[in-house]
């Protein structure tokens, strides 16, 4: 197990210091160093430090001759930190005996994480009791860490902000030292918010580990304590918030500023002065003030913004209705079992039919019906389909005399289907045996949900097995997502990235498809994608973190041929934007404008199409606004790296460069003067 350093800056805390030190020296895993910085204390603090330093060789005592402040003490202590992990606690707080063991073990398990934190707990000296806020019913679960996974990646951390702030108590935090340093450490200008800010920066850049148990306890401060007096000082609070806005305006924090602008809930640890400061300093606050004002309509800070308040409350009601099953599927604890229809269109796919049909017919939970439309096949498809119809009574076969096209056939199958949920599967796709059973379980757990989606997977004949796409890109990994997205929470997730929906691995509400008029045939190979996105935005989405269905990769497939035909693809795009501009799709148009990441699931040619069509100007503008912060951030990183490389290569810093330049100018001036004097 790797080593850790604990730093305790102390000023006149002799009454609680012994308790804090005993909690450290009795850890199940002792720290490599315990650095105690006495900041010019005038009580018995120096004697207590000296006493413990004599007993324990890993204690390193440091002392300031006068009170310089906590940041000067931390700066002095950092010179002696040479371990991988670091914790900073106060002299009146204390740790649980297994703090280091649990924190180091968790960070070792997740090497990408920048810090670990545990439950928020407060010790009341007047009563001698500890209040674990994660178990306090009065907090409405705001501090309950059991709702989070063990590792919150940066993307998942941002997604969690859609449901409320993630509270990290610094006295129960163990930092990965290099991450703390790279993120700027504790900035003095942010004063009592410096630890909170660096915690957020680390979470957004490296991710954090969550330990849902009490490992550190913070003491309740008296009304006369330094922090309590600081919080009550209106001018000091406004000055700190102004400094925070200035820090966010720096190029090194543009990525963080972008997240703050998207998720105003991050400002909630600040007090009511934050909005007053925003109003007073619009030059710094303009990226945040609108979203923050909208958020505050339902928070503690009162605003006269009735329209925003109504919109926010409406979203919350929609979320609650989806959770409670407004459609009547959930009645007094009894769950109605959903019926499932699988629909398939086949055209000359006899080569794959047996494999595909066998996978459907060997499901651990059989479909209520399997409707197959043969679209005028000229191979052995009909004989194979009739064979399966005789063996399985739930199969219905419909034959087209001529080839009408895939969407015509699917429209026919959809009209015959009677199930509550539809699974549209291709004749050449694969299905895992547990697909329908696990999808049905999700519907029972979240009745009324619009779409149930399993992880996106491809099937290559060369491999002969499923190839989960989460091994290729993090965006396909459903394991880092919540099991259920209400419409409101789904949109919050779409602020950061897309949820990849594939029809063959999805169950979709049939009544919602019919309400849309079925699958739009003019959208061709994107018809299913559009329907699934629309229903997920309106009715919510469940995800299953397993690849339970796989799309067979074929160059001759309907979608592959269509996407590669630029003229046909542009006609599909025209139809897409025409549909979005229809009156009954105003909500979808708003969502596509607010969350342009949805369009990233389509071919990259869509952006060329939007640029060349004036009717799409609002969509291309929305896309540019969404994409510009990351583009700016990437450009900044590129040139920042080049500057840093230049400085490293030539071993120069700014001051040395200026000094050398001035020195050379002085030499040149001296030579000129000397020559002039010699001539005269």
Per-residue model confidence (pLDDT) at position 322: 43
Q: How confident is the model at residue 646 (pLDDT cuts 50, 70, 90)?
A: low
At residue 388, the 3 state secondary structure works out as helix
Smallest CA-to-CA distance from 61 within 37, 42, 80, 41 is with 37
Q: Yes or no: say if 349 and 516 are a contact pair by the CB < 8 Å rule.
A: no
Strands 85-88 and 129-132: unpaired
Residue 433: other Cβ atoms inside 10 A: 13
Tokens of 111: 């090497």
Q: How confident is the model at residue 282 (pLDDT cuts 50, 70, 90)?
A: low
Per-residue model confidence (pLDDT) at position 435: 94
User: Who wins on pLDDT, 232 or 388?
Assistant: 388
Q: How confident is the model at residue 332 (pLDDT cuts 50, 70, 90)?
A: very low
Length, in residues, of the chain: 680
Smallest CA-to-CA distance from 543 within 415, 442, 432, 676 is with 442
Q: Yes or no: say if 562 and 470 are a contact pair by the CB < 8 Å rule.
A: no
Q: Yes or no: say if 337 and 555 are a contact pair by the CB < 8 Å rule.
A: no
Chain Cα centroid distance, residue 396: 44
217 with 253, same domain: the answer is no
Segment 25-47 shows an average pLDDT of 93
Question: Could you give the count of Cα atoms lying within 13 Å of 172 in the half-sphere of its Cβ?
Answer: 27
Tokens of 477: 């990994």
The whole-angstrom separation of Cα 433 and Cα 436 is: 8
Assigned domain for 569 exists: yes
- Give the domain-ending residue among 222, 253, 271: 222
Per-residue model confidence (pLDDT) at position 320: 45
605 with 671, same domain: the answer is no
Flag the least confident range among 120-129, 275-284, 332-341, 504-513.
275-284
Q: Yes or no: say if 237 and 231 are a contact pair by the CB < 8 Å rule.
A: yes
Assigned domain for 365 exists: yes
Assigned domain for 658 exists: yes
Segment 650-663 shows an average pLDDT of 65
Q: Is the dihedral of CA 551, 557, 562, 563 positive or negative?
A: positive
454 with 522, same domain: the answer is yes
The whole-angstrom separation of Cα 281 and Cα 247 is: 14
Q: Yes or no: say if 165 and 266 are a contact pair by the CB < 8 Å rule.
A: yes
Strands 549-552 and 430-431: antiparallel
Highest mean pLDDT pick, 134-138, 295-299, 326-330, 477-481: 134-138
- CATH number for the domain harbouring residue 90: 3.90.550.10
Query: In the chain, how many domains are there?
Result: 4
At residue 263, the 3 state secondary structure works out as coil
Per-residue model confidence (pLDDT) at position 648: 58
Got the DSSP string for 316-373?
HHHHHHHHHTTTTTEETTEEPPPPEEEEEEESS-HHHHHHHHHHHHT-SS--SEEEEE
CA distances from 230 to 240, 247, 470 (A): 10, 20, 48
CB neighbour list of residue 14: distance below 8 Å, 6 or more residues apart = 41, 43, 44, 45, 48
User: Who wins on pLDDT, 102 or 492?
Assistant: 102
371 with 259, same domain: the answer is no
96 with 198, same domain: the answer is yes
User: Who wins on pLDDT, 667 or 391?
Assistant: 391
597 with 629, same domain: the answer is no
Q: Yes or no: say if 417 and 409 are a contact pair by the CB < 8 Å rule.
A: no
- pLDDT tens for 445-484 read 888 899 999 988 887 764 445 555 555 455 567 766 777 8
At residue 227, the 3 state secondary structure works out as helix
Assigned domain for 234 exists: no
44 with 159, same domain: the answer is yes
530 with 670, same domain: the answer is no
Q: How confident is the model at residue 243 (pLDDT cuts 50, 70, 90)?
A: confident
Segment 621-630 shows an average pLDDT of 66
Q: Yes or no: say if 176 and 208 are a contact pair by the CB < 8 Å rule.
A: no
Is residue 192 over pLDDT 80?
A: yes
Radius of gyration of the CA atoms of the chain, in A: 31
Smallest CA-to-CA distance from 132 within 124, 123, 121 is with 121
Segment 652-673 shows an average pLDDT of 71
Q: Yes or no: say if 9 and 92 are a contact pair by the CB < 8 Å rule.
A: no
Segment 10-23 shows an average pLDDT of 91
CB neighbour list of residue 553: distance below 8 Å, 6 or more residues apart = 458, 459, 460
Highest mean pLDDT pick, 97-106, 332-341, 493-502, 633-642: 97-106
The whole-angstrom separation of Cα 559 and Cα 620 is: 25
Highest mean pLDDT pick, 75-84, 119-128, 223-232, 665-674: 75-84
Q: Yes or no: say if 344 and 369 are a contact pair by the CB < 8 Å rule.
A: no
Q: What does the buried/exposed string (b/e) look like for 202-211 if buried means 16 or more CB atoms within 10 Å of the residue's CB?
A: bbbebbbbbb
Tokens of 364: 């651990």
* Long-range Cβ pairs for the range 52-58 (8 Å, 24+): 52/21, 52/25, 55/25, 56/25, 58/30, 58/31, 58/32, 58/33, 58/34
The whole-angstrom separation of Cα 411 and Cα 417 is: 10
Give me the phi and psi of 370, to 5 degrees please: -125, 110
Q: How confident is the model at residue 311 (pLDDT cuts 50, 70, 90)?
A: very low
Smallest CA-to-CA distance from 532 within 603, 453, 606, 459 is with 453
Flag the least confident range among 160-169, 276-285, 513-522, 558-567.
276-285
- pLDDT tens for 537-591 read 999 999 998 889 888 877 666 666 666 777 888 888 889 989 998 888 989 988 8
Query: Whose structure tokens read 């199958």?
Result: 413
The whole-angstrom separation of Cα 607 and Cα 620 is: 7
Segment 607-617 shows an average pLDDT of 77
Q: Yes or no: say if 175 and 85 are a contact pair by the CB < 8 Å rule.
A: yes
Assigned domain for 318 exists: no
Q: Yes or no: say if 38 and 61 are a contact pair by the CB < 8 Å rule.
A: yes
Assigned domain for 326 exists: no
Tokens of 4: 């850790």
Query: Whose structure tokens read 């009739």?
Result: 386
Q: Is the dihedral of CA 247, 250, 252, 253 positive or negative?
A: positive
Is residue 430 over pLDDT 90?
A: no
Residue 381: other Cβ atoms inside 10 A: 23
Question: DSSP strand E in 125-265: where?
Answer: 129-132, 151-152, 173-176, 208-211, 216-219
Tokens of 182: 């790279």
Give the structural domain span for 607.
340-617
Query: Whose structure tokens read 């909630």?
Result: 268
Q: Yes or no: say if 394 and 357 are a contact pair by the CB < 8 Å rule.
A: no
Assigned domain for 331 exists: no
Per-residue model confidence (pLDDT) at position 469: 54
Per-residue model confidence (pLDDT) at position 215: 92
9 membership: H or E segment, kind and range: strand 4-10
352 with 426, same domain: the answer is yes
394 with 477, same domain: the answer is yes
Flag the least confident range among 97-106, 142-151, 231-240, 299-308.
299-308
56 with 188, same domain: the answer is yes
Assigned domain for 327 exists: no
Question: Could you give the count of Cα atoms lying within 13 Å of 596 in the half-sphere of its Cβ?
Answer: 17
Flag the least confident range among 519-528, 577-586, 600-609, 633-642.
633-642
Segment 196-207 shows an average pLDDT of 94
Highest mean pLDDT pick, 133-137, 494-498, 600-604: 133-137
598 with 647, same domain: the answer is no
Q: What does the buried/exposed string (b/e) look like for 115-129 if buried means 16 or more CB atoms within 10 Å of the residue's CB?
A: bbbbbbbbbeeeeee
């Amino acid at each position: 197990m790797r080593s850790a350093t604990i730093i305790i800056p102390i000023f006149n805390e002799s009454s609680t210091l012994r308790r804090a030190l005993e909690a450290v020296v009795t850890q199940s895993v002792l720290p490599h160093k315990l650095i105690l910085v006495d900041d010019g204390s005038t009580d018995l603090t120096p004697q207590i430090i000296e006493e413990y330093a004599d007993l324990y060789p890993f204690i390193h005592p440091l002392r300031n001759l006068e009170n310089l402040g906590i940041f000067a003490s931390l700066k002095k202590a950092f010179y002696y930190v040479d371990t991988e992990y670091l914790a900073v606690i106060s002299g009146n707080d204390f740790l649980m005996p297994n703090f280091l063991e649990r924190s180091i073990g968790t960070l070792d398990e997740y090497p990408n994480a920048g810090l670990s934190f545990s439950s928020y707990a407060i010790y009341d000296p007047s009563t001698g009791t500890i209040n674990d806020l994660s178990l306090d019913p009065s907090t409405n679960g705001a501090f309950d860490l059991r709702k989070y996974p063990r590792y919150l990646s940066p993307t998942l951390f941002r997604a969690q902000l859609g449901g409320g702030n993630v509270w990290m108590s610094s006295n129960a935090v163990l930092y990965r030292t290099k991450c703390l340093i790279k993120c700027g450490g504790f900035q003095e200008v942010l004063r009592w918010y410096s630890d909170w800010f660096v915690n957020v920066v680390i979470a957004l850049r490296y991710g954090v580990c969550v330990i849902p148990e009490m490992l550190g306890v913070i003491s309740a401060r008296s009304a006369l304590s330094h922090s309590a007096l600081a919080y009550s000082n209106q001018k000091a609070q406004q000055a700190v918030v102004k400094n925070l806005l200035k820090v966010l305006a720096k190029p090194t924090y543009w990525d963080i500023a972008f997240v703050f602008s998207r998720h105003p809930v991050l400002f909630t640890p600040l007090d009511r002065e934050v909005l007053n400061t925003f109003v007073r300093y619009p030059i710094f606050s303009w990226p945040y003030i609108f979203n923050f004002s909208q958020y505050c309509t339902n928070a503690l800070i009162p605003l006269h913004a009735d329209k925003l308040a109504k919109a926010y409350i409406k979203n919350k009601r929609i979320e609650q209705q989806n959770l409670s099953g407004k459609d009547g599927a959930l009645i007094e604890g009894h769950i109605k079992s959903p019926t499932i229809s699988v629909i398939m269109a086949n055209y000359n796919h006899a080569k794959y039919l047996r494999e595909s049909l066998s996978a459907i017919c060997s499901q651990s939970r059989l479909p209520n019906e399997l409707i197959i439309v043969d679209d005028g096949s000229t191979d052995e498809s009909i004989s194979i389909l009739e064979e399966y119809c005789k063996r399985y009574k739930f199969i219905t076969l419909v034959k087209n005399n001529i080839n009408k096209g895939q969407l015509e056939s699917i429209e026919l199958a959809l009209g015959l289907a009677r199930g509550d949920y539809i699974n549209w599967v291709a004749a050449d796709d694969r299905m895992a045996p547990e697909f329908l059973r696990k999808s049905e379980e999700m519907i029972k757990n979240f009745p009324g949900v619009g779409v149930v989606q399993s992880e996106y997977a491809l099937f290559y004949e060369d491999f002969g097995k499923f190839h989960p796409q989460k091994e290729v890109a993090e965006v396909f990994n459903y394991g880092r997502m919540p099991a259920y997205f209400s419409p409101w929470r789904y949109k919050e997730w779409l602020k950061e990235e897309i949820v990849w929906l594939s029809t063959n691995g999805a169950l979709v509400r049939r009544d919602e498809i019919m309400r849309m008029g079925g699958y739009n045939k003019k959208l061709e190979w994107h018809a299913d994608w559009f329907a699934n996105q629309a229903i997920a935005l309106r009715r919510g989405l469940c995800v299953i973190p397993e690849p339970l269905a796989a799309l067979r990769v074929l160059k001759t497939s309907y979608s592959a041929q269509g996407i590669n035909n630029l003229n046909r693809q542009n006609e599909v795009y025209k139809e897409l934007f025409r549909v979005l501009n229809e009156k009954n799709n105003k909500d979808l148009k708003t969502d596509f404008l607010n969350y342009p990441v949805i369009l990233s699931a389509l071919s990259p040619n869509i952006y060329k199409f939007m640029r060349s069509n004036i009717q799409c100007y609002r969509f291309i503008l929305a896309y540019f606004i969404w994409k510009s912060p990351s583009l700016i951030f990437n450009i900044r990183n590129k040139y920042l790296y080049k500057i840093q490389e230049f400085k490293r290569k030539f071993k120069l810093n700014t001051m040395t460069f200026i000094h050398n330049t001035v020195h050379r100018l002085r030499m040149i001036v001296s030579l000129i003067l000397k020559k002039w004097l010699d001539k005269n």
